[in-house]
Amino acid sequence: MCSSDLEIAPDGVADGGTRELNIATGSVAGTGTQTVNVGNADGSSSINVDGTTKVNDGVSKDTSINTGAGSGSVHILDGTGSGTLAIGNASAGTITMQTAGDVKITSAATQTLTAGGNINVTSTSASGDAIIVHASDSVGGVKVQAGTGGIEIGNQGDITTIDIGDTAPTVDRDITIAGGLVPDTKTDTIEIAPDGVADGGTRELNI
């Protein structure tokens, strides 16, 4: 078994010194191309880059990572450090995540999703629990708050039942609508089926 080491500028830099290593930095004229290859074609090489690393810094060019047909993984900040991962900026275009598997976001801290436009949560699953919002702690709660636009709960075509608390309980429970003490000088209006019924229509209210 043979071994071979190739070292380029292996020695350090003294205090106040500067070293630059330039590879293929010349300009390309017309339709010319310039390629720098590192590693072998079958991907069996290990390449270590330590230190401050910049890719396409100061220029906007396509950058591809693991675009082959293999099953290689990309690990970012999966060590024991506490670095920050920043993606995009106020002028960035669309950011797309696509996978045949799951997308999981796990954190010990509060997560915030903010957008200047609408936020749509859509599932194409043909399942009764296609979207689940679950506060899993035994004392966890779910809050839905809105401005003057209100909160609308409905379904496509209004053809299916909208149920609140119709699952048979296995422990004692309370179902509260418009709870809380109404303070002095305030009015709390609770409307159930306030709109009329058109000719030939039927409405049943079961309590």
What is the rounded distance in angstroms from the CA atom of residue 162 to the CA atom of residue 96?
Answer: 33
Q: pLDDT at position 118, please? A: 92
> What parts of the chain have a pLDDT lower than 50?
none
Per-residue pLDDT of 17-44, as tens digits, reads 999 888 888 888 888 888 988 888 888 8
Query: Which residue is it, tokens 């290990």?
Result: 46
Q: What is the pTM of this model?
A: 0.66
Alpha helix (H) residue ranges in the chain: none
Q: pLDDT at position 185, please? A: 94
What tokens appear for 89 in the block?
């900026």
Query: Which residue is it, tokens 């859509």?
Result: 122
What is the rounded distance in angstroms from the CA atom of residue 207 to the CA atom of residue 203?
Answer: 13
Rounded to 5°, angle at Cα 42 from 71 and 8? 115
Per-residue pLDDT of 85-114, as tens digits, reads 888 888 888 888 888 888 888 888 888 988
What is the rounded distance in angstroms from the CA atom of residue 64 to the CA atom of residue 67?
Answer: 6
What is the rounded distance in angstroms from the CA atom of residue 43 to the CA atom of residue 28?
Answer: 27
What is the rounded distance in angstroms from the CA atom of residue 153 to the CA atom of residue 133?
Answer: 15
